[in-house]
Structure 1
Amino acid sequence: MNKLLDFGRKALFYVRVLSGYEERRIRSYRLQLEQRVQQAQARKAAINKEPEKIILSEVRRMVEEMQNLNKKLEETEAAIEDYFKPLDKEAEIIMKMQLQGEERTSEMMMKALEKQASLQQVEAEKNASMHKVDNSEANLDDSKLMEEEKGLTEMLKELQREVLLEKADAGSSDNMHQSDKSHINLNPASTTTSERS
């Protein structure tokens, strides 16, 4: 009986092969396998693309956040500029006032220096004229001193003559010799030097 079953199976298989049924069945199975492989590859490609999509979506999200942050920064910068505009104007006014004050002080300093220089020049001229006057007065004083010295020397000479005459009247030669010595001691040059000292 088993043999009959095996023979029947083989006969059926041959009939199927000869009729083309088995070939069609193999092709359909092959097509199903190819479709499954294609689906698996598509799923694999989709799975492989998922990280790229995730990364791209993250990058897009980060770019959008950066753009939003840039917009906010620009808005805040504009607000800060608007807020500081009056302060900048006041600072410019203060700087201009300070520069004007410094220019005024420098002008005043220059005028004061010019006045001081002119006063020093006038004082120098006065000192020079006073020095000339002092020199002329010193020359006058020297001439007066010379005249006084001459007068004193003449008086001394007259006194010496009187002394000599008195001693000559006494008639002693010793006294005359002493008078000569006193005459030598009372030399006009020595008296003038003693007076000058």
Structure 2
Amino acid sequence: MKKLLDFGRKALFYVRVLSGYEERRIRSYRLQLEQRVQQVQARKAAINKVPEQIILSEVRRMVDEMKALNKKLEETETAIEDYFKPLDKEAEIIMKMQIQGEERTSEIMMQALEKQATLQQAEAEKNASKHQVNHAETNMNESEMMEEEKTLTEMLKALQQEVLLEKADTESDVNAHQADNSPINLSSASTTTSK
């Protein structure tokens, strides 16, 4: 009986092989295995792409944050510039007023010096006329006049130098005042913007 079963099994196997059933079964099993391998590879590729996608999304987020920060910085810069525009205009007005005042004082001083020089010239002419009358006295007067003229020219030069020094000092003071005000104004502007 056992031999009969073995013979029947072998006969059935031969029939399957000859009919192509066994070959189709093997092919279908092979296709199932290939499909499983492809699914596993696709899952593996997806798992490998996950860190890359995370990194890319993080980079995109950081780029967006940097763009937002740049926009905020530009807005604060424009706000600071708008805040300082009236102050700059006031500083320019003050500078112009100071320069005009210095020019007026220098003009007044120059006019006074010119008047003094004309008075001294008139006195010199009077002394010259006296010199013609009295030659001996004029020799002494000439030396005094020369000394007076020298002292007057020295006084004129000294006054001009003082005027120029005052102009230079006021310009340097104004420049230093602007330089001193700029960090203070920036700090005050930053406190106002932070509020």
Change (3 A) 1:20 1:93: same
Alpha-carbon distance in 1 for matches of 2:77, 2:117: 56
Distance of 1:2 and 1:104 partners within structure 2: 138
| 1:23 maps to 2:20 | no
Which amino acid letter does the alignment assign opposite residue 34 of structure 2? E
Aligned residues: 139
User: 1:44-193 counterparts in 2 under 5 A?
Assistant: 44-122=44-122, 125=125, 133-136=133-136
How far is the alpha carbon of 1:32 from its aligned partner?
Answer: 1.5
- TM-score scaled by structure 1? 0.55
- Cα distance, 1:35 vs. partner? 1.3
Asked if structure 1 preserves the Cα contact closer than 8 Å seen for 2:128 and 2:138, the reply is no
Query: Aligned partners of 1:5 and 1:117: how far apart in 2?
Result: 152
What is the distance in 2 between the residues matched to 1:107 and 1:18?
129
Gaps spanning 5+ residues in structure 2: where? 140-195
Report if the CA contact (8 A) 2:130-2:138 is conserved.
no
Q: Given the two structures, how large is their TM-score scaled by the length of structure 2?
A: 0.55
* CA radius of gyration, larger in: 1
- What do residues 68-102 of structure 1 show as CA deviations (whole Å, max 9, x unaligned)? 21222233223323332332222122122122122
The alpha carbon displacement at 1:61 in A equals: 0.7
In structure 2, distance between residues paired with 1:8 and 1:131? 169
RMSD after superposition: 3.2
Mark the CA change 1:25 to 1:100 in structure 2 (over 3 Å): closer, same or farther. same
Q: 1:37 to 1:126 in 2, by over 3 A?
A: farther
- Aligned equivalent of 1:156: none
Structure with the larger RCO, 1 or 2 (CA within 8 Å, 6+ apart)? 2
